[in-house]
């Protein structure tokens, strides 16, 4: 429910607040927030708005201990949607993505 509300904020123009909430939910393992953020970035989102949240998403994507693991992989997908790294192959070129 919180993920849907945060996604709605993004679509209603409150992008910064919506993204802040979505990333916070993702940090707490919320799978629905991953889907909401991915959908927003692919369909309507200004990619630049996600830039302040990239460090948190990188940390999730790089963590071998983060549960549920699907959130870790979704964070990688979100990073790709945001243009960082540039290609899927880049995910595995450095140690931080192992």
* pTM value surpassing 0.85: no
Question: Which helix (H) or strand (E) is 98 found in, with range?
Answer: none
All residues at 6 or more sequence positions from 39 whose CB lies less than 8 Å from its CB, including other chains: 7
- DSSP code, position 76: H
Based on the structure, what is the number of domains in the chain? 1
**Domain limits for position 44:** 2-97
Rounded distance between C-alpha atoms, residue 88 and residue 25, angstroms: 24
Residue 20 vs residues 7, 49, 66, 91, 97: alpha-carbon distances, Å:
10, 10, 19, 24, 23
Query: How does pLDDT run across 24-68, given as a tens digit for each residue?
Result: 999 999 999 999 999 998 887 777 899 999 999 988 988 888 788
């Amino acid at each position: 429910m919180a993920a849907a509300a945060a996604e709605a904020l993004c679509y209603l123009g409150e992008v910064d607040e919506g993204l802040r909430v979505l990333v916070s939910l993702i940090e707490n393992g919320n799978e629905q927030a991953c889907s909401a953020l991915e959908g927003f970035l692919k369909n309507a989102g200004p990619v630049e708005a996600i830039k302040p949240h990239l460090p948190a998403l990188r940390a999730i994507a790089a963590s071998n201990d983060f549960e549920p693991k699907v959130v870790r992989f979704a964070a990688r997908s979100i990073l790709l949607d945001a243009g960082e790294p540039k290609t899927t192959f880049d995910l595995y070129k450095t140690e931080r993505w192992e």
